[in-house]
Each structure stands twice: as structure tokens, then as C-alpha cells.
Amino acid sequence: MIGLLNKLFHRGDADCNEVRKLSSDYLDEDLAPTKRSVIQAHLSNCGPCRAFVDTLASTIGLLSRIPKVSAPSAFHDSVMDRIKQEKK
């Protein structure tokens, strides 16, 4: 971890592997502001990493939305009917 930080700050930029390793923390807003800005600087110069983070962001967005969406009751009822029928 210390080595990673040294590398980030020594070069003033992160390489792609480091950005991708930190990208979930970045999206969770779990990073120190200095690290965030290093990653932001890298993303503004690196299309592939930007695409990677975009994909990750939409994946995380989808995953975090799922528990909040309750199944429509009609769907729930039909699933329950099917389960009851299968038990017979």
C-alpha cells in the first residue's frame, strides 16, 4: 500500500493497473481527495481507463439499484402460484 502511494505521488500520475485497482474505491468515494485527483487526471488522459470506470460505474449502479426495486406484486403472485403448483 505504501509502495503504491509512493508510486502515485512520485510520478504524479497513476498507471492503468493502479487506476483499475482503485476504481471501485474511487466510485465509492472512498479515496482521499489527493488520490481521487490523481485518478481523475489519469482518466482525463486515458480513454481505456475511462471506459473501464464507466462500465464499472454502470455495473455498480445496476447492482445497487436491485435491492431497492421490489418485485411488482403481480409478478410476485405468479411466482408464488408457480411455487405452490410445483409443490403439489
Binding site for Zn ion (CB under 5 A): 16, 46, 49
CB of 33 to Zn ion, least distance (A): 20
Pick between residue 16 and residue 32 the one whose CB is nearest to Zn ion.
Answer: 16
Nearer to Zn ion, 45 or 70 (CB): 45
38 CB-near residues (< 8 Å, 6+ apart): 8, 9, 12, 13, 14
**Cβ 48 to Zn ion shortest distance, Å:** 6
Q: Would you list the DSSP string of 3-70?
A: HHHHHHHHHSS--HHHHHHHHHHHHTT-S-HHHHHHHHHHHHH-HHHHHHHHHHHHHHHHHHHGGGSP
CB of 59 vs Zn ion, minimal distance in Å: 18
Of 47 and 67, CB closest to Zn ion: 47
